[in-house]
Amino acid sequence: MPDYKMKNGYILLLTAIYALTGLLFFENQMIGVVCLFVSVVLTALTVRFQVKTEQEWKEYVLGITKRFKHVSEEAVKEMPIGVLFFNDEHHIEWVNPHFESIVGFDAVMGQSLNQLSEQLIPAIKKAHSEEIITLNQRKWRVFIRPEEKILYFFDVTEQVKTQELYSQDRTALAFILIDNYDEITQGMSDQTKSLIMGKVTAVLNRWANEYGMFFKKISSDKFVAVMNQKIVDQLEKNKFSVLDAVRDVNHKQNIPLTLSIGVGAGEATLQELGHLAQSSLDLALGRGGDQVALKFSNGKVKFYGGKTNPIEKRTRVRARVISHALRELVLESDKVIIMGHCHPDMDAIGAAIGILKVAEANEKESYIVLDPDDIHVGVYRLIDEVKKDEVLYSHFIYPKQALEECTPNTLVVVVDTHKPSLVIEPGLLNKTDRVVVIDHHRRGEEFIEDPVLVYMEPYASSTAELVTELLEYQPKKSKMSMLEASALLAGIIVDTKSFTLRTGSRTFDAASYLRANGADTVLVQQFLKEDLTQYVGRARLLEQTTILGDGIAIAKGTMQDVYDQVLIAQAADTLLTMNDVMASFVIAKRNDGKIGVSARSLGDVNVQVIMEKLNGGGHLTNAATQLENITIDETETLLKEKIIEYLEGGDSE
């Protein structure tokens, strides 16, 4: 490289000499002439040096350019990197020799990028910087340069294979529980118990051996299984068929034994996998059992099974324990605030009044959070009746008042929901750590964080039924009024469709207790009356009904007609009473502009699983969802896809 430091030194020296020559010329002309001569000689040498330097620089730059061009050409032609030029229409204009050897120059020239992979054009349009595609049975990482319209292809087949091997070999952990084993085998002889457990264990052992997992019994009704991700993928593919196998074995003996399985998987330590597996098992049990909850370390959750109704528990031990625990929490609190879900129905209001009675029995200040402008149409009559009772109505407060009343020592009781996004006033959950959840819905992925007490029983007909049982174990310091008992009974009647769905012996026990405490069935019927307009609207909605195979009926409204959510649900209930209808779905536009879908079933079709695929939820026989930015026809198409997936065995989330 030319020595520019020397050149700059010459220039500085000449400048100094010329300045000195000028000064000496005025002092002594002879010396000045000599200095001038020296300056001219040095100037000539400098000019010559500069010319030589520039020539050397040109030769240097030319050499570098030639070398760079040679290296670039060699890189493009010889290095194992595919290079592709495309035009504005995403057609291939040129490929380098390496890429030509992969796909053939003549085979792709002028063709669309879709000929290579359908992933490329969407990735370019979305401004992705890279994409992995499959080409000639190999994996390629494509670096996208949209400004230059160039694609660079790097073969990452071995890297992808290594990642897949690592992913498939990751450890996964499963906890397996026999649902209600102690209650179902209560009263059986030891020989019968051993026979039943032997059959279940044999099925589980065959299942474990078939997939090559480690399997171990850790208690009378609990097992642990250790596997890898590859086995988990196989189990998912077969929809955890062991659930059906165990159910079929015991069904022949008329013993309703089922399994609940919690699986923890993903990139996590063994300790974290253990927590994930236990959390998954709790989730499966909270949803009613007879299913698998698969939770990954990234938070994703999948469900399989859940095809049977939750089995009613035969004893009330848990209800008594929960009632006593609730009483202790009430006594330790400065006040109690009760709230249900937004747009509360009869069950939520009835259960809230029941918890209000629990607080009253323990002589604690208590309030129910309610926005009178945000309630179901069917609840208006109940609220109008409550307003006539000044003492009872004084305990109802607005959400803003509840926030003002709430302190860190306040007990907040959430009824008829367990999802923080659905409660009337989410801010209450952040103002105190003392939160109780009482609900009868199957547990979903979203759940109130760290409640101090949870009473969730999916087998129950309603939250009002659960609260009625809790009331039976509270101090009898004040008698339940006729209106309070009637409100709880109305909640049970509404959720059971007048004792026809999800009704167990405990449901009738709770109704009997309420009737004995003054519940007025005539008043309940007054609460449940509907006007002629609703009846006609429901009939109009059911006019557009189609029947799919397997007894599934779908009714839909139009985008011009708007219906209340209660009416949509009532239409689904009505449709379920028709001949040969096993499950009903009603699609209609709601008052808030969303598209509502209500689903009902007689039990053979798990509508909860189908609604969860549409970001909804509920029960096996009663579920719903709401969708935004979609038309009714689009919703119908989407719903049919999910129903077909379910019927074909894709009952996972």
Q: What percent of the chain has pLDDT over 90?
A: 34
Maximum Cα–Cα distance across the chain: 138
336 contacts: CB under 8 Å, gap ≥ 6: 330, 355, 356, 358, 359, 364, 365, 366, 367, 410, 411, 412, 413
> Which residue in 505, 567, 559, 178 sits closest to 345, CA to CA?
567
Looking at residue 100, what is its pLDDT?
78
Distances (CA, A) of 344 to 383, 396, 435: 11, 13, 19
Write phi, then psi, for 362 (nearest 5 degrees). -105, 15
With beta carbons less than 8 A apart as the criterion, state whether 588 and 561 touch: yes
With beta carbons less than 8 A apart as the criterion, state whether 124 and 146 touch: yes
Q: How confident is the model at residue 234 (pLDDT cuts 50, 70, 90)?
A: very high
State how far the Cα of 487 lies from the Cα of 453, in Å rounded to an integer: 24
Residues 341, 343, 349, 352, CA torsion sign: positive
Q: Both tokens of residue 26? A: 């005025």
Question: Residue 227's beta-bridge partner residues?
Answer: 172
pLDDT 10s digits, 135-171: 877 888 889 888 888 888 888 888 888 888 888 889 9
Q: Both tokens of residue 198? A: 């032997």
Q: What is the dihedral of CA 419, 421, 422, 425, to 10 degrees?
A: 110
With beta carbons less than 8 A apart as the criterion, state whether 571 and 541 touch: yes
Looking at residue 651, what is its pLDDT?
46
Q: What is the mean pLDDT of residues 396-403?
A: 94
HEC readout, 458-520: CCCCCHHHHHHHHHCCCCCCCCCCHHHHHHHHHHHHHHHCCCCCCCCHHHHHHHHHHHHCCCC
Helix, coil or strand: residue 8: helix
With beta carbons less than 8 A apart as the criterion, state whether 264 and 275 touch: yes
pLDDT 10s digits, 1-22: 455 455 555 566 656 666 666 6
With beta carbons less than 8 A apart as the criterion, state whether 511 and 492 touch: yes
Q: Both tokens of residue 131? A: 């994409």
- Going by their DSSP bridges, the two strands 336-339 and 545-548 should be labelled as unpaired
67 contacts: CB under 8 Å, gap ≥ 6: none
Q: Both tokens of residue 293? A: 């909850």
pLDDT 10s digits, 540-563: 888 888 888 778 999 999 888 888
423 secondary structure, DSSP code:
B
State how far the Cα of 648 lies from the Cα of 616, in Å rounded to an integer: 20
> Which residue in 465, 467, 455 sits closest to 508, CA to CA?
465
Distances (CA, A) of 112 to 107, 115, 206, 605, 639: 11, 6, 52, 46, 35
Whole-model pTM: value is: 0.60
Q: What is the mean pLDDT of residues 92-114?
A: 76
Looking at residue 65, what is its pLDDT?
63
Which residue has 């570098």 as its token pair? 64
Q: Any idea which of 52-56, 84-88, 217-221, 361-365 has the lowest mean pLDDT?
A: 52-56
How buried is 96 (Cβ within 10 angstroms: 0-12 exposed, 13-18 middle, 19+ buried)? buried
149 secondary structure, DSSP code:
T
With beta carbons less than 8 A apart as the criterion, state whether 34 and 55 touch: no
State how far the Cα of 419 lies from the Cα of 441, in Å rounded to an integer: 10
Q: What is the mean pLDDT of residues 24-32?
A: 62
State how far the Cα of 292 lies from the Cα of 176, in Å rounded to an integer: 9
Amino acid residing at 58: K
What is the average pLDDT score of the chain?
83
With beta carbons less than 8 A apart as the criterion, state whether 575 and 600 touch: yes
Higher pLDDT, 544 or 465: 465
What are the b/e assignments for 177-188, b being 16+ CB within 10 Å? Answer: bbbbbeebbeee
Q: What is the mean pLDDT of residues 522-543?
A: 82
Sheet holding 150-155, edge to edge: 92-95, 82-86, 150-155, 138-145, 130-135
In the predicted structure, residue 382 carries a pLDDT above the cut 60: yes
Left if phi > 0, otherwise alpha if psi is -120 to 50, otherwise beta: which for 214? beta
State how far the Cα of 264 lies from the Cα of 176, in Å rounded to an integer: 12
Distances (CA, A) of 306 to 19, 126, 651: 100, 39, 9
Q: What angle do CA 102, 107, 113 make, to 5 degrees?
A: 85
Q: Any idea which of 107-121, 266-280, 510-524 has the lowest mean pLDDT?
A: 107-121
Helix (H) or strand (E) holding 146: none
For the ranges 47-56, 482-491, 642-651, the maximum mean pLDDT occurs at 482-491
Q: What is the mean pLDDT of residues 394-414?
A: 94
In the predicted structure, residue 273 carries a pLDDT above the cut 80: yes
Looking at residue 64, what is its pLDDT?
61
341 secondary structure, DSSP code:
B
State how far the Cα of 303 lies from the Cα of 241, in Å rounded to an integer: 13
In the predicted structure, residue 508 carries a pLDDT above the cut 50: yes
Q: What is the mean pLDDT of residues 237-248?
A: 86
With beta carbons less than 8 A apart as the criterion, state whether 619 and 442 touch: yes
pLDDT 10s digits, 408-463: 999 999 999 999 988 999 999 999 989 999 998 877 778 898 888 889 888 788 99
Q: How confident is the model at residue 653 (pLDDT cuts 50, 70, 90)?
A: very low
State how far the Cα of 241 lies from the Cα of 22, in Å rounded to an integer: 106
Q: What is the CA radius of gyration of the chain?
A: 38
Higher pLDDT, 352 or 72: 352
In the predicted structure, residue 105 carries a pLDDT above the cut 60: no
> Which residue in 275, 629, 338 sits closest to 467, CA to CA?
338
pLDDT 10s digits, 300-325: 888 888 666 555 554 577 788 889 88
In the predicted structure, residue 652 carries a pLDDT above the cut 50: no
With beta carbons less than 8 A apart as the criterion, state whether 349 and 463 touch: no
State how far the Cα of 289 lies from the Cα of 275, in Å rounded to an integer: 19
